[in-house]
Amino acid sequence: MRTARIAAAAALALTVWGVAAAPAPAETGLFGPSAEEQVRLRQAGMGMVLTSVTLLRGGSANAPSVKNLEFPAQNLANWARTMPALFGPATRDVPSRALPAVFENQADFAARAALLADGAQAMADAAKADDSQAFAAALASTRASCKGCHDSYQAPPPPPPKAD
């Protein structure tokens, strides 16, 4: 009974807080990833993108078949389609290597993410059809999409610490 009352009070408090507190729920961390979590998710995701592309390159180079690469390629495409959602407006103030241009040119940023998604989808389709030539072309356009976005939207890495 007491537990139920506490739960009801907590739910009410949350409701009131949800209405009264200004940031959109997706930015709070209570109902979705916080700004810091979005940054960590997208950075880890990008690391896994690099891992996937490395796997796809190795798996397709001189391989007799590309059939078993459909799964990693399809997942890369799926990730790329949703990835812009991890650049929510509140993440602008979190330290990261995303340049302010990401938040100023959202449509272009999304279009560049779509190039990655399209390249990866073409890889998945080529893998399904076991078409090595089409796979190689799609891999090349996927890899070009990385630089196409990073050149405009990713800050260069910090310089290595001085040895003195």
Q: Which of 78, 132, 141, 154 binds ligand HEC (CB under 6 A)?
A: 154
Residue 134 CB contacts under 8 Å (≥ 6 apart), including other chains: 122, 125, 126
Name every residue whose Cβ is closer than 8 Å to that of residue 152 and which is 6 or more positions away in sequence: 99, 101, 105, 108, 112
List binders of ligand HEC among 36-75 (CB under 6 A). 39, 42-43, 46-47, 49-50, 53
Tell me the per-residue interface mask from 80 to 99 with ligand HEC, x by CB under 6 A, - otherwise: ----------------xxx-
Q: How far, in Å, CA of 95 to CA of 35, rounded?
A: 10
* 122 belongs to the binding site for ligand HEC (CB under 6 A): no
Distance between CA atoms of residues 109 and 49, nearest Å: 17
Burial of 143 (0-12, 13-18, 19+ CB in 10 A): middle
For the CB of residue 22, give the shortest distance to ligand HEC in the complex, in Å.
24
Stretch that binds ligand HEC, among 20-28, 35-43, 61-69, 126-134 (CB under 6 A): 35-43
One-letter amino acid for residue 33 of the chain: P
- Contact with ligand HEC (CB under 6 A) among 56, 73, 112, 127: 112
Q: Is 102 in the site for ligand HEC (CB under 6 A)?
A: yes
Which residues are at the interface with ligand HEC (CB under 6 A)? Answer: 39, 42-43, 46-47, 49-50, 53, 96-98, 102, 109, 112-113, 116, 142, 145-146, 149-150, 153-154
